Structure 1
Amino acid sequence: MCRWLAYSGNPIQLETVMFNAKHSLIDQSLNSRLGHTTTNGDGFGIGWYGHPTDIPFRYRCIQPAWSDRNLREAARAVRAPLFVAHIRAATDTPSQETNCHPFRHGRWLFAHNGLVRNYPAVRRDLMIAISPELFPSIEGSTDSEVLFFLALTFGLELEPVTALERMVGFVEETGRRHGVAEPLNMTVCATDGEQIVAVRYSSERQSRSLFHNTSFRHLHQLYPDDTRIAMAGQDAFLVLSEPLADLPGWWQEIPESTAVVARGGEIERFAFEPRGAAG
């Protein structure tokens, strides 16, 4: 049911984490160890920033990530200080390019793993709540893109964590009004090129897996000869659905109902609680 990762730090080649790691994102597209589905072959996407204030670039495709030769070339050619990559396992919506993550609006990118349960029944009510100014920018048919535009409607660009809490509260309220007991399961990433906001949350409190690296300063001490750590720099941050390597001390699991905000080498954790859309 999808795997994703987001990186910030010194500019590195995308292939470093997408192809070269032992459990790279490409490996996870064929053989996910922690995902709800083993194979994630319903398209992929990458989004990256040349500069934090720029509109991010994107490359999306409906082919399985492991079979796209152009992705290998792009991942080798692109060096970026912040990027998001996603491999998709479709649920209720078709495999098409506009349904591939990450979604983009202005400077923001958004990726999601999980689902809105019984989405066809609640879709209309969710979409009506999206700001009229934002509605024309919706391109695809996924629940994930609707979550993004709801978060934008509720203030993502000003207060990201609060906006995501309002989005979740509204989705849960809408789902339960339609008789859905556990409306939402998600790990999400939202970034504007300067910060990465990641959330692990589900209505049933059994969310999909999510990890981030321990301090890169600490990793430099543990693995002084690892060139990947040296290239990333001491303030690097990596958040992802599954660890890329089986190295002790490298990964921290993000707890259930938690938001993580990484910016300028600082990592903050917050308890994540749904709130009313106006709260």
Structure 2
Amino acid sequence: MCRWIAYSGTPVALSQILFQPEHSLIDQSLHSRKGVETTNGDGFGVGWYTQDTATPAVVRDVSPAWNNRNLEEIAHHVRSGLFFAHIRASTGTAVQQTNCHPFRKGRWMWMHNGMIREFHRLRRDLALAVEPALYPDIEGSTDSELMFFLALTFGLTEDPPGAVARMAGLVEKTGHAHDVRYPLQMTVAVADGERTWAFRYSSEGRSRSLYFSTHVDALRTLHPDAAFLRSVSDETRLVVSEPLGSLSGAWNEVPENSYGVIQPGRDALHDFRPALQGDSSRN
């Protein structure tokens, strides 16, 4: 599987999050504690927003994150208040740049940990459901990118939770039609430059790990000597595949079958369930 981080808050150098924590994403690329694989060396990607551009910058490479000098160079010189970072462990598709996360379409970014089981059998049926005008923009061969374009097809830009629910519903319906008992395993992050949505769901109810950071004001009370906490705003949040360190009280597990929204003002946590196109029920 993979490991990922979504950061939202006070603009910081990417290196503060990717390299400096005791169990940073770079450390996780070699020593994952909660992933299916200990090593995640099949490529990496970072994507970030700035105030100067409407679309995010995305840099991806097939080399392992732990020894890529370009990643280190970028991380020490780029500052952002909203960025994604992802390290990949392939579930069967090729190790190539176009299969590395995050994926981008316009102002939207998407990254995923998990799988569509028996994807080689389901791929054709799922691909046929992508809006024809969007299909030429699919560059790689992963289930993750196809999930993104299905969500775009189902209205991601207007209703992210509903679109992801309809994507998940189609994957499960298609999987069951091919006698796949548990078709979908996912933790997903998606952002539009202002808000970030994070989803945790699996067909069998045993989803991959996902955590969100405690409110910064509460952490300052718990850890008054932590210098990093004094330099970031109260609205700074991280969502991570596994905790970046052992600071007590810092991390909370995202509940099974739920999604959260990180946004200006009050964040929100909601139940999540798959839906089918035309289903009027809400998550």
Same amino acid, percent of matched pairs: 52
CA contact (8 A) 1:200 1:255 kept: yes
Give SS of 2:26's match: helix
Number of residues of Structure 1 aligned to a counterpart in Structure 2: 279
Aligned to 1:44: 44
Partner of 1:190 in structure 2?
190
Task: Give 1:219 shift.
Answer: 1.1
Q: Aligned with 1:30: secondary structure?
A: helix
1:159-192 Cα deviation digits (max 9, x unpaired): 1111111100000000110110000000000000
Runs of 4+ in 1 over 6 A off after TM superposition: none
One-letter code aligned to 2:78:
V
* Separation (CA, whole Å) in 2 of partners of 1:87 and 1:265: 30
SS in 2 for 1:17: helix
| Structure-2 change in CA distance of 1:52 and 1:260 (3 Å) | farther
Partner of 1:261: 261
Structure 2: which 5+ residue stretches go unaligned?
none
Counterpart of 2:167 in structure 1 is 167
Inter-partner Cα distance in structure 2 for 1:139 and 1:270: 32
SS at match of 1:232: coil
d(CA) in 1 for partners of 2:266, 2:21: 25
Mark the runs of 5 or more structure 1 residues left unpaired by the alignment.
none
Q: For residue 72 of structure 1, what is the aligned residue in structure 2?
A: 72
**Deviation of residue 278 (structure 1)?**
2.0
Superposed CA offset, 1:189-243 (max 9, x none): 0000100100000000000000000111111222222222222211101001000
* Partner Cα separation in structure 2 for residue 241 and residue 12 of structure 1: 20
**In terms of mean alpha carbon deviation, does 189-198 or 214-223 score higher?**
214-223
- State the SS of the aligned residue for 1:74: helix
RMSD: 1.0
Letter in 2 for 1:212: F
Superposed, which structure 2 residues align to 1:206-217 within 5 Å?
A: 206-217=206-217
TM-score by length of 1: 0.98
Q: Is the 8 A contact 1:52 1:194 kept in 2?
A: no
TM-score, structure 2 as length reference? 0.97
Q: Which residue of 2 aligns with 1:81?
A: 81
SS at match of 1:45: strand
Output the CA distance in 1 between the equivalents of 2:160 and 2:27.
Answer: 31
CA–CA separation in structure 1 for the residues paired with 2:51 and 2:115: 32
SS of 2:42's equivalent?
Answer: coil
Structure 1 CA distance for aligned equivalents of residues 45 and 132 of structure 2: 27
Q: Does the 8 Å CA contact 1:115/1:143 hold for their aligned counterparts?
A: yes
Cα distance in 2 for partners of 1:78, 1:25 equals 17
Q: Which letter maps to 1:208? A: R
Cα distance in 2 between the residues matched to 1:268 and 1:75: 29
